[in-house]
Amino acid sequence: MFSNVVVSALAFLVALGILISIHEYGHFWVARRVGIKVLRFSIGFGKALWRRTGKVDDTEFVVAAIPLGGYVKMLDEREGSVSAGERHRAFNHQPLWARSAVVVAGPLANFLLAIVAYWIVMMIGISGVAPLVGEPQADSAAARAGFQYEDRIVSVNGQPTPTWADARIALLESSLNASEPLQIEVESVGGEQSMRSLPVSQADMLQADGDAIANLGFRTWWPEVDPIIGEVIAGGAAEAAGLLPGDRVLSVDGETVASWRSLVEHVRPSAGTALELMVLRDGERLSLTMTPEPFEIGTETVGRIGVMETQSASLARKAQVVVKYPPLDAFGQALERTWDMSALTLRMMGKLLLGQASLDNISGPISIAQYAGQSASIGIDHYINFIALISISLAVLNLLPIPMLDGGHLLYFAAEAIRGKPLSERTQLLGQQVGIALLGALMFLAFYNDIWRLFQ
């Protein structure tokens, strides 16, 4: 547990450092190119942990104690006195196009980082799980559409889906504005190609609790294996009942058990209830009594007996895939993925603002750190992919027309272009106060969701 926390924290800090550095360097690089004097380039806020003075303009480079952001401080008459000889290098004296270029350079740098990151993973290959469907939930959209165990999703509305990650994105993206059922091409376990017509409901996907794709009734595929005990965990209900590795469970309370999943379906709802098992051991039938222990999963109490199956690991290898492209094709894929994820992020934000998606979908630093640790533990390909995704989210968020964000400054500049003069300081100050309030509320909600997930 402790090691997982350390890995998540380190992976999060490294990713955050890269994202902030690239974003602020975008502002810094363009400011220098248009002749603006940069006073400070800071990664983080608060007390300086490391400081160096550059050779050009004596710019101060700082790494500060609070790593949740950064800034580029430029010469500006609104923030201090400027000598007459340097007034032409102040930010507020630059033409509108130059100020706009400096502001937009930060988000643009994050988009470029995402393209490069996706390009790298598309070239080296990213491992994934084939989009094989488990048994759909009863009376769900997936079940009504006719999905069956081990169907492989080939495409969604014509968009290829080589991995489950691609299938999830395609399902979510296609369903956001879907007025008709999604057309999903599948390949059955026997190799037959067919089309499934999947009716989608945004209310079910985005406004209900839980995973949006799971809300459609999709379950993760897992091999069907025999109900043979692989390992018995010490101190569990199975050990107390006398179960041993190699035992084959034949029935539970007189009902035949044909697969491991069937065994789980008997145990899971039976917390604290004695079960009569018939097992086969060394050719002999034995009757055992076992009482599953209650175990909390979120708000649900389920039964657990302390056993593991060991047959499925080798069978599950057929679901492992690696997606890889030649360099030129990989670059095209990177551009397309960056565009698709940017559009999807923006559309999801719109759904949140309109109340068409649950606010539970908003994640904060704790959840992002967990995702960072999980992706880093899987492999460098998934970690780079994670950085690309967060970089896109950061770019899109910063372009929102909210004062205090880059998009807010661009909004002010647009008003200046229309009016022929800047907005009054009073109006800009009021806008900043509104922006701080909105960002504060968003941050509070994100932390609240993170903490709630931890408790669950």
Neighbours of 4 (CB within 10 A): 12
168: which 2 tokens? Answer: 């999830």
Are the beta carbons of 129 and 163 closer than 8 angstroms? yes
274/293 Cα distance (integer angstroms): 10
- Of 24, 150, 173, 309, catalytic: 24
Are the beta carbons of 338 and 169 closer than 8 angstroms? no
Distance of CA 107 to the CA centre of its chain: 19
374/109 Cα distance (integer angstroms): 25
DSSP per residue over 248-301, as a string?
A: EEEEETTEE--SHHHHHHHHTT-TT--EEEEEEETTEEEEEEE-PEEEEETTEE
CA distances from 127 to 151, 164, 304, 380, 431 (A): 20, 11, 32, 10, 46
451/456 Cα distance (integer angstroms): 9
209/300 Cα distance (integer angstroms): 14
DSSP per residue over 312-360, as a string?
A: HHHHGGGGEEEE---HHHHHHHHHHHHHHHHHHHHHHHHHHHTTSS-GG
Three-state SS at 62: strand
158: which 2 tokens? Answer: 């014509």
Are the beta carbons of 91 and 99 closer than 8 angstroms? yes
Establish whether 24 is a catalytic residue.
yes
* Rounded (5°) CA angle 116-119-124: 125
Neighbours of 239 (CB within 10 A): 16
Residue type, 222: W
End-to-end Cα spacing for the chain: 16
Helices (H), 200-241: 202, 237-241
114/396 Cα distance (integer angstroms): 12
Residues serving a catalytic function are 24
